[in-house]
């Protein structure tokens, strides 16, 4: 039985606590940690954790904790992942690993120095069935060569009043940066970013056009103030056809001469199954020491951060920015992870 600690008991921490406690019988929720003890205790008691704490480093060091899920604020992700690496504990870290590619590199360096992978990154869309099928259509050749991938990422409203267009690129779009790299099995080489004008002072959508090193074009619209619902769409276009994601809804209501489906208010429902699959794979990683074939690693965190940095520069300057990624270290290629 893998004993898991969750650091950060906000929206995502609570969601992970629920998945560990209710959906994954092979794991025990050992500790819930949050800077607010009241919050830590509330989530711990709601999901039957043994303990609550406010001290993340002490939690990571505990001998009754085998693995850690980091769901605290973004700026803590990289430092806490490094504490886990030093302690020799596998960590599932929420995205982004860091908004700074330099800090991602530091995590990669700490990890490489130990000789094995410890960090799995929570880019859960890799486990979503629609993207699994898009990737398969390229792998099995049925779609021919990939030409384009179009992506729409819409939230009802921004999570905070000080959310900016740059944050749409550094906080929301990394999901697209990661999933497109994963589906197309390539890297981005350039990005342009623009925004239409809204009639009010809310953050307007950001529209990016990216090129890959294999000559594909990728469009990404991030609209953090879409108002109507949480809505993610994608279409992969190949030389022999296209694969588009269906809207995920279990029912459709017909009433008063109209037909309608519902949208979730945020991503937790839409991606519930993907989170469960991802967390199950994380537990397998903890047990076997073998890094899951489709999971995101620190390297993928670095790649997403490099694209995000270039995207933010593109938005600020209005100019196309090139993305100069380092070569992927052999450590992160091929059969990933070595049994502990």
Measured from the CB atom, the residue of 121 and 146 that comes closer to ligand ISE is 121
Smallest distance, ligand ISE to C-beta of residue 172, A? 4
Smallest distance, ligand ISE to C-beta of residue 98, A? 14
> Tokens 């953090």 — which residue?
224
Q: Which of 25, 273, 2 shows the shortest CA–CA distance to 125?
A: 273
Which residue number has the CB closest to ligand ISE? 267
SS3 211: strand
- Bond into 203 cis (ω within 30): no
Measured from the CB atom, the residue of 99 and 171 that comes closer to ligand ISE is 171
Measured from the CB atom, the residue of 52 and 179 that comes closer to ligand ISE is 179
Q: Which residues are near ligand ISE by CB under 6 A? A: 153, 155, 171-172, 175, 267
Q: Are 92 and 12 a contacting pair, CB within 8 Å?
A: no
Measured from the CB atom, the residue of 41 and 175 that comes closer to ligand ISE is 175
Smallest distance, ligand ISE to C-beta of residue 214, A? 27
> Tokens 């056009």 — which residue?
209
| HSE-up of residue 318 (Cα within 13 Å, Cβ side) | 1
**202 CB contacts (<8 Å, ≥6 apart)?**
157, 158, 225
Residue 95, token pair as written in the block:
């995205």
Q: How many helices (H) and strands (E) does the chain have?
A: 11, 15
Q: Are 89 and 60 a contacting pair, CB within 8 Å?
A: yes
Smallest distance, ligand ISE to C-beta of residue 279, A? 14
Measured from the CB atom, the residue of 177 and 267 that comes closer to ligand ISE is 267
Smallest distance, ligand ISE to C-beta of residue 274, A? 10
Smallest distance, ligand ISE to C-beta of residue 175, A? 6
Measured from the CB atom, the residue of 66 and 309 that comes closer to ligand ISE is 309
Measured from the CB atom, the residue of 9 and 49 that comes closer to ligand ISE is 9
Smallest distance, ligand ISE to C-beta of residue 271, A? 7
Measured from the CB atom, the residue of 81 and 171 that comes closer to ligand ISE is 171
Q: Is 244 left (phi over 0), alpha (psi -120 to 50) or beta?
A: beta
Which parts of the chain fold into alpha helices (H)?
Answer: 11-18, 37-46, 56-61, 77-87, 101-114, 129-139, 165-167, 174-184, 267-270, 272-288, 298-317
Alpha-carbon span 121 to 70, nearest angstrom: 10
Residue 76, token pair as written in the block:
């803590």
Smallest distance, ligand ISE to C-beta of residue 267, A? 3
């Amino acid at each position: 039985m893998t004993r898991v600690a969750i650091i950060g008991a906000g929206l995502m921490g609570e969601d992970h606590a629920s998945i560990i406690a209710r959906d994954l019988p092979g794991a025990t929720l050992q500790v819930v940690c949050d800077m607010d003890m009241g919050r830590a205790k509330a989530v711990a008691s709601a999901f039957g954790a043994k303990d609550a704490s406010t001290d993340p480093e002490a939690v990571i060091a505990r001998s009754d904790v085998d693995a850690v899920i980091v769901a605290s604020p973004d700026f803590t992700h990289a430092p806490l992942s490094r504490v886990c690496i030093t302690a020799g504990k596998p960590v599932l870290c929420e995205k982004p690993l860091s908004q700074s590619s330099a800090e991602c590199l530091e995590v990669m360096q700490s990890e490489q120095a130990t000789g094995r992978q410890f960090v799995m990154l929570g880019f859960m869309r890799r486990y979503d069935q629609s993207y699994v099928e898009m990737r398969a259509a390229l792998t099995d050749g049925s779609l021919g060569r990939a030409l384009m991938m179009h992506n729409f990422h819409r939230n009802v409203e921004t999570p905070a009043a000080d959310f900016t267009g740059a944050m749409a690129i550094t906080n929301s779009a990394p999901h697209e940066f990661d999933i497109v790299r994963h589906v197309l099995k390539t890297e981005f080489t350039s990005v342009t970013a623009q925004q239409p004008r809204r009639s009010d002072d809310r953050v307007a959508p950001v529209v990016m056009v990216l090129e890959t090193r294999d000559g594909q074009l990728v469009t990404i619209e991030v609209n953090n103030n879409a108002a109507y619902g949480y809505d993610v769409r994608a279409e992969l276009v190949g030389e022999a056809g296209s694969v588009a994601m269906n809207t995920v809804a279990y029912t459709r209501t017909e009433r008063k001469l109209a037909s309608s489906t519902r949208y979730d208010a945020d991503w937790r429902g839409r991606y519930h199954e993907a989170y469960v699959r991802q967390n199950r794979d994380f537990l397998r990683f903890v047990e076997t020491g073998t890094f899951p074939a489709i999971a995101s690693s620190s390297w993928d965190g670095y790649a997403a951060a490099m694209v995000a940095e270039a995207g933010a520069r593109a938005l600020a300057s209005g100019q196309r920015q090139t993305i100069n990624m380092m070569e992927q270290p052999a450590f992160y290629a091929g059969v990933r992870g070595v049994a502990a």
